Amino acid sequence: MRIGVLVKQVPATENVKIDEKTGTMIREGVDAELNPLDLHAVEEAVRLKERLGGDAEITVISMGPPQAQKAVKAAIAMGCDGGLLLSDRRFAGSDTLATARTLAAGVKQAGHFDLLLSGERATDGETGQVGPAVGEILNLPVLTFVSAVESFSDGYLTVQRGVEGGHERVQAPLPAMISVVKEINVPRLCTLGGKLRAKKTVIPVLGADDLPLPQEHLGLAGSPTKVVKVSYPQITRSGKKISAVDNPDGAVEAILSLLGARGAV
Amino acid sequence: MNAEYRGVWTLSEVRDGRIHPVSYELLAWGRDLADSLEVPLSAVLLGHNIAEQAGDLIVQGADQVYVVDDLELAHFRPDIWTKTLTALVNRHRPEIFIASATSTGRTVMPVLYVDLETGLTADCTELSIDTKERLLLQTRPAIGGNVMADIKTPFCRPQMCTVRPRSKKPLAADPARTGKVFTESVAPESLSSVIKLLEFLPEKNVGAPLQDAEIIVAGGKGMKKAANFALLEELAGLLGGSVGASRMAVDLNWAPYSSQVGLSGKSVTPKIYIACGISGAVQHLAGMSASDTVIAINSDPEAPIFRVADLAIVGDVLEIVPALIGRLKS
Ligand SMILES: Cc1cc2nc3c(=O)[nH]c(=O)nc-3n(C[C@H](O)[C@H](O)[C@H](O)COP(=O)(O)OP(=O)(O)OC[C@H]3O[C@@H](n4cnc5c(N)ncnc54)[C@H](O)[C@@H]3O)c2cc1C
Ligand SMILES: Nc1ncnc2c1ncn2[C@@H]1O[C@H](COP(=O)(O)O)[C@@H](O)[C@H]1O
């Protein structure tokens, strides 16, 4: 069995600046980490490998600047076997379609996978679109919001996926693509041994010339969506302020009268 | 080439054999866009034995409905949904296609846009038309709600996006509205899925889902400990509402994840939202600031939650809430 996990490196802080001209995030000089939601995809891959008695090989795949190698290594330290980084200046500014096309080409280059996993969404772009899009480009059945993998054998995968009002149990043939939610597991901490192994692992890097992708599918130019403006959230209301410190009864009265005016009591 | 694409489409959702109200919210979004562009608004309706409900979509604002009715479409499966929608889009060429950011919308749209080779903007909170360029202007929060990005899809069609459920109210039903219903067929291959739905396991927790509550009493870290959430339960019970929570309260296990309000939780638009000991981080505001009336209780006079409050009570929740409960009981 071969399992692939897509992981993204994201800024470790919310104080990210946006390049006003391109509408893309300025990642230089910002502390970065492995997308917290991707830890669950990595953990699930490692658990599946354990379930298979170790008879699986897990490859971590990421697209990003050279320092994204760190995120790949962090995943390897949790128990993955190897990694692949797709990195090229020409990938910069990719929207989710350009990212998914690049990742799909990289996955193909890395050979056949029985299962691909992604996180539910990245904490920076927060779209949740890349995982399913990669699955579709590779012509795989796509199962999203997976909260449990029930079985993974005999050419089939059975999972539970969260939907409004409950969970669905669904089955799909392998190979398949799944995106997992936070509830699926609790990610393990990496061991010292894992860290040492990650340190020694060489992560191959592929650039645009190594992938069979047309130029016009790459980076900012290959992105159908364009960020035209960024702004900071507008706050809309300015209501009445009452201090309950001096006048607790007055505060309770005010709440009651507003509830009354709105027909709630 | 883009001139060939005309009209605004919405993706309807069916649950338990009925058109779900998120479909009507989408029509409210779509109506504004279609009117600015002076084009028809069409709802797409996929399912089984649902054709007779198509009229409801017209009553709620659609000019046209495209129905595909097939046993295979009785339950959502991304592969056949995508193949069917690809066929319809290529046949009728809408310039805009919007879906709700529900589990269905957030699954099918990211697969569909790949096949249509266009852009997709997730989780929009505002949509408008740049009439000069005849482009859809899509506004969405990113990076934990710290920035709002305006996004356009200038060169590809359709312009696709998902919008947050509950961020707009459906239009008032108008039984006098008229429109056309088209029954569409697609190639049988488009309806053959490799995905099998084995079973549906309903959520165990009883009561109305948080998004449907008219009154929400929500608690944050300022509630101090898990046991104090019982006060919120009691207050919600007296008002006939439900209990919500900030992410902090959920992370501390004071409340279940299903009650988390905000960017990584639920978006809610109740009639009344009572925020108890919630600071009002942008991520939290993203999920509740569209509530009709907001009452906030916080000991910090500078708490950001007060900026979205109609009534701001500066004080100790653990004094105010019990006093309020006492008054409501007497
Ligand atoms: C990508 C991302 C997504 C996120 N998504 C969400 C989301 O979906 N929903 C969400 O809620 N958060 C979300 N967050 C987290 C969010 O930024 C905040 O951390 C969280 O909302 C803070 O919760 P809080 O207001 O309960 O706690 P705090 O910020 O600690 O605030 C507690 C408040 O209680 C007040 N207080 C204390 N004691 C009392 C008292 N006795 N009486 C009255 N008031 C008192 C304090 O003055 C303070 O204002 C997200 C973060 C990120 C990065
Ligand atoms: N640049 C990337 N490299 C590898 N995986 C990615 C990348 N971007 C997104 N992903 C994967 O797709 C998921 C959804 O990301 P997003 O669509 O950006 O919210 C993430 O949780 C990752 O698993």
Q: What is the mean pLDDT of residues B93-110?
A: 97
Given an 8 Å threshold on Cβ–Cβ distance, is B110 in contact with A136? yes
Given an 8 Å threshold on Cβ–Cβ distance, is A237 in contact with B114? no
Spatial neighbors of A168 by CB under 8 A, at least 6 apart, are: A160, A161, B197, B198, B199, B200, B201
Residues of A in contact with B328 (CB under 8 A): 256, 265
B276-324 pLDDT, tens digit per residue, is 999 999 889 878 987 889 999 999 999 999 989 999 999 999 999 999 9
Contact assessment for residue B95 and residue B42, using Cβ atoms and an 8 Å cutoff: no
Instruction: With H, G, I as helix, E, B as strand and everything else as coil, classify residue B252.
Output: coil
CB pairs under 8 A, 24+ apart, for A206-211?
Answer: A206/A84, A206/A85, A206/A86, A206/A87, A206/A106, A206/A109, A207/A86, A207/A87, A207/A88, A207/A90, A208/A88, A208/A90, A208/A91, A209/A88, A210/A109, A211/A86, A211/A102, A211/A105, A211/A106, A211/A109
- Say which DSSP state A191 is in: P
Instruction: Quickly tell me which residue has 């879906």 as its tokens.
Output: B99
Contact assessment for residue B179 and residue B62, using Cβ atoms and an 8 Å cutoff: yes
**Banded model confidence at residue A14, pLDDT cuts 50, 70, 90:** low
Residues of A in contact with B148 (CB under 8 A): 230-234
> Per DSSP, what are the bridge partners of residue A123?
none
Taking the centre of ligand 1 as the mean of its atom positions, its distance from the CA of residue B219, in whole angstroms, is 9
List phi, psi (to 5°) of B75.
-125, 145
What's the complex ipTM? Answer: 0.82
Instruction: With H, G, I as helix, E, B as strand and everything else as coil, classify residue B31.
Output: helix
Report chain B's mean pLDDT, rounded to a whole number.
Answer: 93
Answer whether B219 contacts ligand 1 (Cβ < 6 A).
Answer: no
From B243, B266, B298, B313, the mutation candidate for ligand 1 (largest count of ligand atoms within 8 A of CB) is B298
Given an 8 Å threshold on Cβ–Cβ distance, is A170 in contact with B79? no
Is the peptide bond prior to A175 cis by the omega test (within 30 degrees of 0)? Answer: yes
Q: Which one of B104, B142, B194 has the shortest CB-CB distance to A125?
A: B142
Instruction: Please give the torsion angle defined by the CA atoms of residues B216, B222, B227 and B228, in that order, rounded to the nearest 10 degrees.
Output: -60
State the ligand closest to the CA atom of A91: 2
Instruction: With H, G, I as helix, E, B as strand and everything else as coil, classify residue A46.
Output: helix
Domains of chain B: 2-191 (3.40.50.620), 210-329 (3.40.50.1220)
Q: Which of B106, B133, B279, B284 to mutate to test the interface with A (most CBs of A within 10 A)?
A: B106
State the ligand closest to the CA atom of B264: 1
Q: Which residues of A56-77 are buried (b: 16+ CB within 10 A; e: fewer)?
A: bebbbbbbbbeebbbbbbbbbb
Question: A167 in contact with B at a CB cutoff of 8 Å?
Answer: yes
Work out the number of other CB atoms within 10 angstroms of the CB of residue B323.
17
Work out the number of other CB atoms within 10 angstroms of the CB of residue B136.
28
Considering chain B, what percentage of its residues have pLDDT values greater than 70? 97
Q: Which one of A15, A97, A183 has the shortest CB-CB distance to B113?
A: A97
Spatial neighbors of B157 by CB under 8 A, at least 6 apart, are: B2, B4, B5, B93, B95, B118
d(CA B190, CA B268): 36
Helices A96-109 and A130-137 cross at an angle (nearest 10°) of 50
Residues of B in contact with A138 (CB under 8 A): none
Q: Which of B107, B157, B164, B300 to mutate to test the interface with A (most CBs of A within 10 A)?
A: B107
d(CA A77, CA A191): 7
pLDDT at B207 over 60: no
Residues of B in contact with A156 (CB under 8 A): none
The minimum CA-CA distance between B102 and chain A, rounded to whole Å, is 8
Q: Which one of B123, B147, B272 has the shortest CB-CB distance to A259?
A: B272
**B205 token code pair:** 């927790």
Q: What is the mean pLDDT of residues B235-246?
A: 95
Domains of chain A: 2-217 (3.40.50.620), 240-265 (no CATH)
pLDDT at A15 over 50: yes
Return the ∠ at Cα B161 (arms to B155 and B163), rounded to 5°.
Answer: 155
A26-81 pLDDT, tens digit per residue, is 777 778 899 989 999 999 999 999 999 999 999 999 999 999 999 999 999 999 99
- Comparing B227 with A31, the larger pLDDT belongs to B227
Q: What is the mean pLDDT of residues B234-245?
A: 95
Contact assessment for residue A221 and residue A200, using Cβ atoms and an 8 Å cutoff: no
Given an 8 Å threshold on Cβ–Cβ distance, is B147 in contact with A231? yes
**Banded model confidence at residue A17, pLDDT cuts 50, 70, 90:** confident
State the ligand closest to the CA atom of B145: 1
Residues of B in contact with A124 (CB under 8 A): 142-143
